[in-house]
Structure 1
Amino acid sequence: MAKVKTQYVCQNCGYSSPRYLGRCPNCGAWNSLTEELEKPQTAKKAARVSFDGARVKPQLLDSVNTEESPRVKTRLNELNRVLGGGVVPGSLVLIGGDPGIGKSTLLLQVSGQLAATGEKVLYVSGEESAIQIKLRAERLNVGGRNFYLYPETDMASIHQYIDKMKPAFVVIDSVQTMQEADMSSAIGSVSQIREVTAELLQIAKTNGVSIFIVGHVTKGGAIAGPKILEHMVDTVLYFEGDLHHTYRILRAVKNRFGSTNEIGIFEMKENGLAEVANPSEIFLEERLRGATGSAIVVSLEGTRPILVEVQALVTPTAFGNAKRTTTGLDHNRVSLIMAVLEKRTGLLLQNQDAYLKAAGGVKLNEPAIDLAVAISIASSYRDLETPPSDCFIGELGLTGEIRRVNRIEQRVAEAAKLGFKRVMVPKNNLTGWTLPSQIEVVGVATLSEALRIVFK
């Protein structure tokens, strides 16, 4: 009989050690190593076999026909955009997010829409019973003859029914609740998640089954389990939002079939998630006219330009060190912009507390927002209103220059569509395209020049 070995595996990063350690030497997490029994492999892994019993064989690249498996579009255009144009057959998609954010609601709606196309959909739930899923489906008005529910956590049984039913789409909710019976480790452990995902990957790639996996997140916001989980799947989506607000943002952080910068915006309603076709209007609808410390930026999220209000509140500090707080903006970028404002434009900000946020819960992390952030800080410091019909686009350099940004035509067109009268852009972006007639385009070379035009 083969000897069973004991190892200690970090539940945060997957690092294994022959003895217990209080702190993981790989990721630095405390008390994350748990004991697992490592059994020797007595049998070889089976080769990839499809539903009809055919084994995978080498084939010429020119003989592969992609037209036989076109993308499948759902009724949610926001989801189609984030996925790169629709669901790719045989893809493995991982969706993570905070508890209660709407992951199961989104996948239940999508499953109902895919089942309406005539394809079989198998919804596997390890967290809820069939009655619980049915109650939510009735609220969302989801159903259909091709929609099957299967509350199970054993991967052997799930694999058996997938082979028997031959569905086109499978939803696993969630991967942390699934269990490989051959492994002695606890459900949700690193080894269990790794083996479950590897089996799902084999099913998807061999048979062309599109599989959606729900993943829990840790306190830090990362998907729970080993990092290899995100490497194995084709697409990683994060469902973000504030539980106290109705808007949700679906963001792609990895996508083998499309851009990783795309976002989809949804609104949580009583009857499910509704897509937001024009998010710029949502982000600007509650803007207070006449207020100081506000500036509108045209930010680019993937291929979509959206207008977002950047708000700043600058007040004298009551303590020795000035405080900097940001929400939806990069803290280091804001500190850099404030340093440029103080050095190049003469604003004394070293004794001022600064609080900045991107309104609407969206996260802005591209360089083109620099000019709008600087304008909002200067507006709050000087207590002067920015023109309500102005918006700002531009990257700020350390010497105070306004640098060129990409895709300026689409940004300006979006601002003109929403009724803005003037847009401030880098001077080097004025050439190479036709300026629109419905909006005034002002080119600026330096931050001082921009402040003079805005607050003249």
Structure 2
Amino acid sequence: MKEKTIYQCSNCGYQSLKWVGRCSECNEWNTVEEAIVRMDKKSAVKKYEIRKKTPIIKLSEVQGSKSDRIITRMNEFNRVMGGGIVRDSITIITSPPGGGKSTLTLAVANDVASKGYKVLYASGEESDSQIKNRADRILDKIDENIWIIADTSMDYVLQSIEEIEPDLIIVDSIQTFTLSQHLPARAGNPTQTMECSNELLRVAKNSDKPKAVIMIGQMNKNDEIAGLRALEHLVDTVLVIEGEDEEELRAVLSTKNRFGSTGEMGFFSMTEKGLLSIDNPSEFFMTKRDEGEIVSGSALTVLREGSRPIIAEIESLVSNSFTPYPSRIGEALRREQLNTLISILEQRGGINLFNKNVVIKTTGGIKLKEQAANLSVIMSIASSVYNIGISNNIVFIADVGLTGELKKVPALESRIKELARMGFKKVYVAKNTFSKAVKFDNIDVIQSKTLQEVIQQVFGVEKP
């Protein structure tokens, strides 16, 4: 389909190749508007689309957006989106194959449809029967407000949008669609991907009929969205689903969000019924034990994922090694980081591990990306070595330097407030973190200078 720009009078229909302030046919002022003429090469039919001139206005006079959000029943999805789906926004979701992109978007589509909104689900990867089979598996009831189109033609998708006027449009995946005017370029070609995305952007940002668009993007071998980097600049929000195929936990990370916090993270559990929102992550990442039940090798810390603190349990297992090279296995952190912490514990904590295997993991499989968890990792290892359990009312939040000194971590006050809200009684932090004037209700904040001090206070020993 070929297109060109002309100027057309909205009063009498007169056309010209240049813009004029006064129509030379009917003599009316300010009635000439920019228009796009699209001609179908096969049918030789011309289609006219008026494109109004964008007014120039002062920034101080611009009215702030009053558009409300589409709030789903999936609290973690609302969180990572910044409070819900913005009406005139375009979002792209990506993950490795099998990460749960299609499962998540279909669940969102059904949830939004159940609230009375129209949803168009366009798939270039699955047939209509495949979409239906997946919907039957993960949805309790398929809402009547969902329309599907199983085709790779973006032209058909745009025609369907004009026909149905949906509130939410989901495209799975953008790299499988083509526009006829850019043929013979294949699907996945950078030109096709960007032009299809630009058409969806135009639909989403229509001031008269704004729509929300969610695109699924394929990921390349470098764990990046396939195609040009410009695709990420074009959209308002970029969501990345993290998690291994065999793991239950899925984390949805916002790497860009014009309507919320970049870096916000939502947690989901992959089940036979699809992705389920984990509304209280702290409970998911801790083992539920009876009151007074204490086990060795377990320690608690507070991680910060996005804007919120999450309490996480770190477990350690230390055993004798019968080989010259003991194992160092850290499922939740990098091996280099684990080796560094073991060296600190040996040299500054006085615990020899040269002939011990050390295995670290976290409850729920959450990754330890923050230095704030380092003290808790070391204390869990020490607990396993001593075979002495740590009370489940005690938490550790500090980094540990190579000197054995405890280091401050960011956003510590909000982490401690979360502990107090959850009923924890004691937390170990770095010395001089707070002045004596700072008080916390219902929780004892112990400021220690060195790792050795913490080991002595918790276990009552200085050396094994």
TM range (shorter): 0.7 to 0.9
The equivalent of 2:196 in structure 1 is 196
Mapped partners of 2:224, 2:336: distance in 1: 21
Mapped partners of 1:100, 1:379: distance in 2: 38
The equivalent of 1:170 in structure 2 is 169
Mind listing any 5+ residue stretches in structure 2 that lack a counterpart? 7-33, 37-47
- Judged with a 3 Å threshold, the aligned counterparts in structure 2 of structure 1 residues 222 and 352 are, in CA distance, closer, same or farther, namely farther
Deviation at 1:242, TM superposition (A): 4.3
Amino acid at match of 2:194: R
SS at match of 1:66: coil
Mapped partners of 2:56, 2:336: distance in 1: 50
The equivalent of 1:85 in structure 2 is 83
| Native 8 Å contact 2:264 2:306 kept in 1 | yes
Match for 2:350 among 326, 346, 370?
A: 346
Aligned length, in residue pairs? 414
Mapped partners of 2:4, 2:374: distance in 1: 56
CA-to-aligned-CA distance 1:229-264 (integer Å, 9 cap, x gap): 333322221223344454432222222222223222
Q: How does 1:42-441 map to 2 (within 5 A)?
A: 53-139=51-137, 140-181=139-180, 182-207=182-207, 208-219=210-221, 221-285=223-287, 290-350=294-354, 352-431=356-435, 433-437=438-442, 439-441=443-445
Amino acid at match of 2:420: A
Mapped partners of 1:72, 1:66: distance in 2: 18
CA-to-aligned-CA distance 1:281-333 (integer Å, 9 cap, x gap): 12223579554322111111122221111122334555555543322223433
Mapped partners of 1:124, 1:99: distance in 2: 19
- Judged with a 3 Å threshold, the aligned counterparts in structure 2 of structure 1 residues 322 and 164 are, in CA distance, closer, same or farther, namely same
SS at match of 1:429: coil
| Native 8 Å contact 1:48 1:206 kept in 2 | no
- Judged with a 3 Å threshold, the aligned counterparts in structure 2 of structure 1 residues 264 and 390 are, in CA distance, closer, same or farther, namely same
The equivalent of 1:9 in structure 2 is none
- Judged with a 3 Å threshold, the aligned counterparts in structure 2 of structure 1 residues 102 and 82 are, in CA distance, closer, same or farther, namely same
Mapped partners of 1:142, 1:230: distance in 2: 34
TM-score (norm 2): 0.78
Q: CA RMSD of the aligned region, Å? A: 3.1
The equivalent of 1:452 in structure 2 is 456
| Native 8 Å contact 1:409 1:433 kept in 2 | no
Deviation at 1:45, TM superposition (A): 9.2
Mapped partners of 1:279, 1:48: distance in 2: 52
Deviation at 1:167, TM superposition (A): 2.6
SS at match of 1:428: coil
Deviation at 1:109, TM superposition (A): 2.2
- Judged with a 3 Å threshold, the aligned counterparts in structure 2 of structure 1 residues 163 and 311 are, in CA distance, closer, same or farther, namely same
The equivalent of 2:43 in structure 1 is none
Deviation at 1:396, TM superposition (A): 2.0
- Judged with a 3 Å threshold, the aligned counterparts in structure 2 of structure 1 residues 320 and 112 are, in CA distance, closer, same or farther, namely same
Mapped partners of 1:353, 1:44: distance in 2: 71
Amino acid at match of 1:167: P
Amino acid at match of 2:132: K
| Native 8 Å contact 1:83 1:257 kept in 2 | yes
Deviation at 1:370, TM superposition (A): 1.4
Mapped partners of 1:241, 1:455: distance in 2: 36
SS at match of 1:342: helix
Mind listing any 5+ residue stretches in structure 1 that lack a counterpart? 1-41
Amino acid at match of 2:287: E
| Native 8 Å contact 1:112 1:144 kept in 2 | yes
Mapped partners of 1:375, 1:350: distance in 2: 17
The equivalent of 2:12 in structure 1 is none
| Native 8 Å contact 1:265 1:279 kept in 2 | yes
Deviation at 1:113, TM superposition (A): 2.7
The equivalent of 2:17 in structure 1 is none
CA-to-aligned-CA distance 1:40-62 (integer Å, 9 cap, x gap): xx977999989985354443323
SS at match of 2:76: helix
Deviation at 1:363, TM superposition (A): 1.6
Q: Which has the larger radius of gyration?
A: 2
TM-score (norm 1): 0.80
Deviation at 1:369, TM superposition (A): 0.9
Mapped partners of 2:448, 2:50: distance in 1: 65
Mapped partners of 1:331, 1:315: distance in 2: 18
| Native 8 Å contact 2:285 2:362 kept in 1 | no
Mapped partners of 2:49, 2:140: distance in 1: 32
